[in-house]
Structure 1
Amino acid sequence: MWRYLVGAGGALLLVVAGLFLFRGSASTETRLPPAPKEAVASGTEQDLPAEPPSATARTREQKRFDRIDKDKNGTIAKDEYFALRRKLFAKLDTDRDGKLSFEEWSVKAVERFQGADKDKSGTLTRAEFATTAVKRNAKPRCACAPARAQAPETPRQEAGDNED
């Protein structure tokens, strides 16, 4: 008799667990937002340029100059030029042990500033500043290995097709 009671209790527990599962999953369903309205094209393909516009090196150099020219007067003073260098130095000297001194680090920057300042005015014009740009190598588009040919697949024999 006790077997029937245990079986009925187990069945009752399974039914209760099933109810919790179905009610729990129903409340977690998310409703989708309404579909967006269909977009209408405002122009035709003839209005589009043949080639997409791209940024020129002049535009990149202009942004670089404007980023360093804090007072926006069209020239870069030594203080403006070295402000970024000071920040970079602080990042380089991470352990703050002072082994990389500012004078040792800034020798190249001072030489670069003095070499770029052709008129020896103590400031860099846009043309002079353009000569201080870092020359970067072009990155390859893809370093992918060439595709290799796949061997043709042979049909497999069925288990009952042995001809022995």
Structure 2
Amino acid sequence: MLFMAAGFVIWASDSDADDPIPPAPAAAPLLMAPQKPPTPPAAPEKSREEKRFARYDDNEDGIITRAEMMGSRRGSWERLDANGDNRLDFEEWAITTSEKFAKADADRSCTLNAAEFLTTRRKSKPKPKCEC
């Protein structure tokens, strides 16, 4: 019986220590100054050559293969290779130039004067305006 009474006393004292409801947090001030988010670290600016290297390195492995280097020329080649035989003969190469000449020869004289020749110049893309 003595052991039962001691067990009851120990049990009753432990139940007070294990309070299931934690104390309420301290009240925060109502007017807090807005917090600025931390600024991320600045990434280093890539050099012109690093950007050029990245354009050729398609799989981003840090190495440029011959296929990656020649890949930028593939589209131009395919446009000129009209019959798709992977060979560029004179007619296929000259057709673009011949069409350009015929389009520029406005008076159909089979010659180009200075004004007509000026129309054969490659059109450059306009540079975007800086809105700094």
TM-score, L = length of structure 2 = 0.30
Q: Which has the higher contact order (CA 8 A, sep 6+)?
A: 1
